[in-house]
Structure 1
């Protein structure tokens, strides 16, 4: 019954895509090309397994990423250094079972070694009070609101200060100890043709 959070594998992308597009209006839809782009570039792309089956995924990136999300740009225009949660999806049959909390604990453990803040947004359409409560219980606070161009969707923009970062940064900087739990994701190596022409994006 334990939850295992680990880096995504390439053969799981179809399952991740299906999970994303079955999540409902609280998550923007994805196509295969955009998901592939995340797989090739996102510094944090992990899945959760429970009882041997895929229970959800979380995609995140730092503030210097090349990411075209208007919500990401909103944060970057106002804050110089942060870790951004682009999306988190938990399979409907697994909601309320601790998968979301396992993801946020893991994402924070990763982010607080590298960034002073963690950022995300919650759509304010419909009744999203349980989602806001979930984030509030993790220490996120609203720092503004943003209406997404082309959709009219209003989002609460949330941030959390990562209090361990100043000590980690002062002690280690970017030279973190080589231990498994602190390791960054190894991005897949793209073919030379894709890297030189930009076709991998």
Structure 2
């Protein structure tokens, strides 16, 4: 199994967490998205037609998009299960995961921030304000869901799920970008608990072979 990943990509981070939770070994294939390696013809044609990370290769099967990859891993390697089978809990996990992956992340990923700065010519201060605005808009929703429906040390219960795989990278990126997360105590508690787990520790950006200090 091979994972095409970039150390600071939160989508790659999600999949690294899932692989670590399942105890699956893989070859790490670094794709430097800052240098544009994800747009290389060979990568797009042979690995990921979306020209993005992550991409998982499992034998002859290749798949992009982090949520699809984690769903595949759950079906192919079901223990521990990250997307619950019970309908109501499954829906709740997917609700929170989708809020992060579909509402928050797309507004603040590297290509959007790059477009704001290089094409629309916004200032670094304006780019930072954009980032923080959308983080706080999304985190307010995350916090409300966890307050109403969360339980246990993790987002939903006593074991990590897809929701935790999505939340922890989002929180790490928000911290790195200087966002004040004090207003989201339930989310912070889950984040701090996750960082004590070996799988989440192993998946950190700083632990990856292509890590470069900013």
Using structure 1 for the length normalisation, give the TM-score. 0.30
More strand, by proportion: 1
Using structure 2 for the length normalisation, give the TM-score. 0.29
More helix, by proportion: 2
Q: Larger RCO: Structure 1 or Structure 2 (Cα < 8 Å, ≥ 6 residues apart)?
A: 2
